[in-house]
Amino acid sequence: MNKKVMVFAPHPDDESLGCGGTLLKHKALGHEVHWCIVTDMSVSDSYTSEQKKQREDTIKQVAQLYDFNSVINLGFQPAGLDNVPMGQLLNALKDTLESIKPDTIYLPYAFDVHSDHKVVYQAIISVTKTFRAPYVSSIICYETLSETDYGLSPLNTQFQPNMYVDTSEFIEQKHQILKCYGSEMHAHPFPRSFKAVEALEILRGSQAFVDAAEAFVILRQRW
């Protein structure tokens, strides 16, 4: 049976920062990869029509570079998921899952600082209970620069990887995709810089004893 992967991105670029190399590796292995974008700046009054058009073009370009099997945009307000009735979000995510029936899911970490990330995590955990989505065998959290590392808490909520993916072969391709997000990437010492991306890849690679890696927290896995 062909492997089906779905990555949930609260915002476009989360998928690339969090697991871009891993998604490219899935595609290289012949797996189906589906991209679900939860929020959409086109529904917000905070952006100009030019910014909205540019974002639409970016999403199309990124989707082509990954060769995603499908792109699903749920169209919720950015930075406003905590104001969306939970039932509405759960239904949208449930319908998305049922339409694809992925066996592997990548999602943001529970303790990311951004409220949209927290809400997406909570909602996905709710709709992927084993008796509700028995086809999902792996639920895996990715780390996002400027979100996961800024989720400060006196409690022990730090991102502690228990899975590493060797992405050494896909670094350059991932970086090319990240260049599509020009407005989101800035010069060092901004946390979403190419220098920071590369530094994290090297750090995770050294922990896994490979040239470069992406790190994850496995929440559930059935084999």
Q: Is residue 142 predicted with pLDDT exceeding 70?
A: yes
Q: Is residue 76 predicted with pLDDT exceeding 70?
A: yes
Residue 217's closest CA among 136, 112, 126? 112
Q: Assign 3-class secondary structure to 83-132.
A: HCCHHHHHHHHHHHHHHHCCCEEEEECCCCCCHHHHHHHHHHHHHCCCCC
Structure tokens at 120: 């997406």
Percent pLDDT > 70 in the chain is 100
Residue 155 CB partners (closer than 8 Å, separation 6+): none
Query: What is the rounded average pLDDT of the residues 157-165?
Result: 96
pLDDT band per the 50, 70, 90 thresholds, residue 153: confident
Which helix (H) or strand (E) element contains residue 49?
helix 49-66
If one counts the domains in the chain, the total is 1
Which helix (H) or strand (E) element contains residue 64?
helix 49-66
pLDDT band per the 50, 70, 90 thresholds, residue 44: confident
Q: Are 121 and 86 in contact (CB under 8 A)?
A: no
CB atoms within 10 A of CB 39: 24
Domain span at residue 120? Answer: 4-221
Residue 17's closest CA among 223, 184, 163, 202? 184
Q: Is residue 108 predicted with pLDDT exceeding 80?
A: yes
Indicate the average pLDDT of the chain. Answer: 95
Taking the whole predicted model, whether its pTM rises above 0.85 is answered as: yes
* Per-residue pLDDT at 70: 98
Structure tokens at 80: 């406003």
Q: Is residue 1 predicted with pLDDT exceeding 80?
A: no
* Per-residue pLDDT at 45: 72
Q: Is residue 216 predicted with pLDDT exceeding 70?
A: yes
* Per-residue pLDDT at 63: 98
Q: What are phi and psi of 104, to 5 degrees?
A: -125, 130
Domain CATH for 50: 3.40.50.10320
pLDDT tens, position by position, 169-193: 999 999 999 999 987 888 989 889 9
CB atoms within 10 A of CB 46: 10
